[in-house]
Amino acid sequence: MTDLKYLLFLGCAIPYRVSAYEVSTRKVAQKLGLDLVDMPEYNCCGLPLDPVSHDLMLTLAARNLCVAERQGLNIMTLCPGCAGTLRKVNKMLKEDKKIKELVNEYLKHTGLEFSGSIEVKHLMQVLSEDVGLERIKGAVQRPLSQLKVAEHNGCHVLRPVKYAGFDDPENPTVLKRLIEATGATCLDYLDETECCGAPIIGLNEKIPLQLARDKVRHIKDAGAQAMVTVCPFCHMMFDANQSRIERMFNETFGIPVLHYPQLLGLAMGLSPDELALKELRVDASRILSNLRS
Amino acid sequence: MTEKEETQEKEPELGMVLKITDMDPRFKHEISKIPGAEKIMLCFQCGTCTADCPIARFSDSYRPRRILRMTQLGLKEGVLSSDVIWLCAACFTCVDHCPQDVEIASVLRALRNLAVKEGYLPPVYRELASNVLQTGLAYKIPELRLRRREETGLPPLPKANLKDVNKLADATGLSKLIQARRT
């Protein structure tokens, strides 16, 4: 079996507002024997500044990759934006000599040089490819067989295919299999593969809230009791903004939005407190009491 | 008033009269030299990008196909000064679906980069950039949050190497593009 040791790249959004995702990931990782080393001296992956300067995005990402190369460890991220960016830049620099030269020229100012010796994976990839479904199923002590949920993947884990090379963005199944490993049922719904709109919320609030509203509506109509995400930004759109969406459209949803490791942790027998379920804005206690009965 | 309304209705892009003097024939070449945007001229206006765009579904103005056509035609000023180019959420659906293999989202990114050079920088991006220069991260994490991490048993958040980040921002020209930065 491969050595399950990774540099944990936390990114910006998780320490800023979504620490329940980090808390639950660390708890679940411990149970699965994943060794997570905090990535030292990391900076923003670069994605948020790609619209401002593509060169800076490449260089910020490359700097992170160089730090990991020095540590000699592969990176695991929780945020699909970070995973998508670091993975893409890693691939670009490994394959495109011209871009590698350009970025290394910038990196010279810091004494770093990209060599291309590590890999980057999102949590979902580590769980499905390295840990494996069988081992996850083996760690489940309290199957969530009474729970029906719907999934929402993060765009950047899956797209663009050219750089992602993971799962099928038109018909993603990895997160579904991971959810089913907990014993829960994962339901299909209409616009399952659609973006949540979060990246433009700083410029236009109406469009992302409409997008998120449609998804939550369809999830509720499909009969799901909760939603499961693997991205801090998507999570904010559906959880932190859910009451705003309800007011805006005069509808009631009350759909709790769990980070995948929270769902997995519950199935492993960890307590709601250990998994920071209290931090969710949409109260999850109703689904929890169903599980106990 | 009525006159103004009429003009506004007649003006939408599809019916507008294009002046040859507004078109910069070199613009498309300028764009196609930018990594990711190389295939801009292969766009044959099928509209798959707009049809599959989740943002376009809820926006009256964001139409990736139209932005690509305006770029091909060299309507540089119109494209770069437009708020619309900032609405792409970079979900990359269009990139995966384009039959001509045009990286539409990357063309949009290239246009935004140029717009910034021309002085069009939306406040939210100025703030993100300034946060990265000051903290290494895109958001300023409040002290309270950092303290709460430790209270909940999380390890302290690693400190970014600000010296390196600022050197790289200088080298890539970001520092010049935005004003606010720590010295």
Instruction: Pull the structure tokens for residue A280.
Output: 């969710």
Please give, rounded to a whole number of angstroms, the shortest distance from the CA of B11 to a CA of chain A: 23
Judged by CB atoms closer than 8 Å, whether chains meet at A51 and B155 is answered as no
Where does residue A216 fall: left (phi above 0), alpha (psi -120 to 50 degrees), or beta otherwise?
Answer: alpha
User: A63 and chain B: CB distance < 8 Å anywhere?
Assistant: yes
Cis peptide before A160 (omega within 30 of 0): yes
Judged by CB atoms closer than 8 Å, whether chains meet at B92 and A22 is answered as no
Q: Which amino acid is at B39?
A: K
Q: What is the CB neighbour count within 10 angstroms for residue A140?
A: 16
What is the architecture, at CATH level 2, of domain A135-292?
3-Layer(aba) Sandwich (3.40)
Q: What is the CB neighbour count within 10 angstroms for residue B75?
A: 21
Please give, rounded to a whole number of angstroms, the shortest distance from the CA of B3 to a CA of chain A: 30
Optimal mutation site among A56, A57, A64, A203, interface B, most CBs of chain B within 10 A: A56
Cα Dmax for chain B: 66
Report whether pLDDT(B24) > 60: yes
- For the segment B37-96, what is each residue's pLDDT rounded down to a tens digit? 999 999 999 999 999 999 999 999 999 999 999 999 999 999 999 999 999 999 999 999
| Residue A257 CA to its chain's centroid (Å) | 13
For residue A23, the surrounding DSSP H or E stretch is helix A19-32
Residue range(s) of every CATH 1.20.1050.140 domain in chain A? 5-123
pLDDT tens-place values along chain A, 293 residues long: 458 999 999 999 999 999 999 999 999 999 999 999 999 999 999 999 999 999 999 999 999 999 999 999 999 999 999 999 999 999 999 999 999 999 999 999 999 999 999 999 999 999 999 999 999 999 999 999 999 999 999 999 999 999 999 999 999 999 999 999 999 999 999 999 999 999 999 999 999 999 999 999 999 999 999 999 999 999 999 999 999 999 999 999 999 999 999 999 999 999 999 999 999 999 999 888 877 65
Task: For residue A149, give every residue at least 6 positions away whose Cβ sits within 8 Å of its Cβ, in sequence order, or none.
Answer: A179, A184, A185, A186, A187, A224, A225, A226, A227, A228, A258, A263
Q: Give B 47-86 residues with CB within 8 A of chain A.
A: 54-55, 57-59, 83, 86
Q: Which residues of A touch B177 (CB under 8 A)?
A: 52-53
Residue A2: per-residue pLDDT:
58
User: A37 and chain B: CB distance < 8 Å anywhere?
Assistant: no
Instruction: Pull the structure tokens for residue A16.
Output: 């800023």
- For the segment B91-102, what is each residue's pLDDT rounded down to a tens digit? 999 999 999 999
Residue B47: per-residue pLDDT:
98
- Among the listed residues B68, B179, B178, the one whose alpha carbon sits nearest the alpha carbon of residue B116: B178
Q: Give A 215-274 residues with CB within 8 A of chain B.
A: none
Task: Judge contact between A38 and A259, C-beta under 8 A.
Answer: no
Minimal-distance CA residue of chain A relative to B159: A41
CATH code: domain B9-117 is: 1.10.1060
Q: Give B 86-115 residues with CB within 8 A of chain A.
A: 86-93, 95-96, 103, 105, 109-110, 112-113
User: A106 and chain B: CB distance < 8 Å anywhere?
Assistant: yes
| A88-126 per-residue burial string, b: 16 or more CB within 10 A, e: under 16 | bbbbbbeeeeebbebbbebbebbebebeeebbbbbbbbb
Could you write out the three-class secondary structure of chain B?
A: CHHHHHHHHHCCHHHCCCCHHHCCCCHHHHHHCCCCCCCHHHCCCCCHHHHHCHHHHHCCCCCHHHHHHHHHHCCHHHHHCCHHHHHCCCCCHHHHHCCCCCCHHHHHHHHHHHHHHCCCCCHHHHHHHHHHHHHCCCCCCCHHHHHHHHHCCCCCCCCCCHHHHHHHHHHCCHHHHCCCCCC
Residue B67: per-residue pLDDT:
97
Judged by CB atoms closer than 8 Å, whether chains meet at A38 and B109 is answered as no
Residue B115: per-residue pLDDT:
96
Distance CA A89, CA A48 (A): 14
Residue A118: per-residue pLDDT:
98
Distance CA B158, CA A36 (A): 14
Task: Judge contact between A89 and A61, C-beta under 8 A.
Answer: yes
User: B23 and chain A: CB distance < 8 Å anywhere?
Assistant: no
Distance CA B11, CA B6 (A): 8
Task: Judge contact between B88 and B36, C-beta under 8 A.
Answer: no
Residue range(s) of every CATH 1.10.1060 domain in chain B? 9-117
Report whether pLDDT(B5) > 60: no
What is the architecture, at CATH level 2, of domain A5-123?
Up-down Bundle (1.20)
Instruction: Pull the structure tokens for residue A118.
Output: 């590590």
Distance CA A257, CA A277 (A): 10
Optimal mutation site among A7, A23, A44, A158, interface B, most CBs of chain B within 10 A: A44
User: B19 and chain A: CB distance < 8 Å anywhere?
Assistant: no
Report whether pLDDT(B130) > 50: yes
Mean pLDDT calculated for residue range B121-131: 95
Minimal-distance CA residue of chain A relative to B83: A203
Residue range(s) of every CATH 3.40.50.11810 domain in chain A? 135-292
Residue B177: per-residue pLDDT:
84
Residue A292: per-residue pLDDT:
66
Question: Token pair 């390890």 is at which residue?
Answer: B155
Minimal-distance CA residue of chain A relative to B163: A110
Q: What is the CB neighbour count within 10 angstroms for residue B77?
A: 12
Mean pLDDT calculated for residue range B123-135: 95
Cα angle B103-B105-B59, degrees, rounded to a multiple of 5: 135
Task: Judge contact between B118 and B80, C-beta under 8 A.
Answer: yes
Please give, rounded to a whole number of angstroms, the shortest distance from the CA of B147 to a CA of chain A: 11
Please give, rounded to a whole number of angstroms, the shortest distance from the CA of B43 to a CA of chain A: 18
Report whether pLDDT(B12) > 70: no
Rounded to 5 degrees, φ, ψ at A54 are: -65, -40
Residue B13: per-residue pLDDT:
56
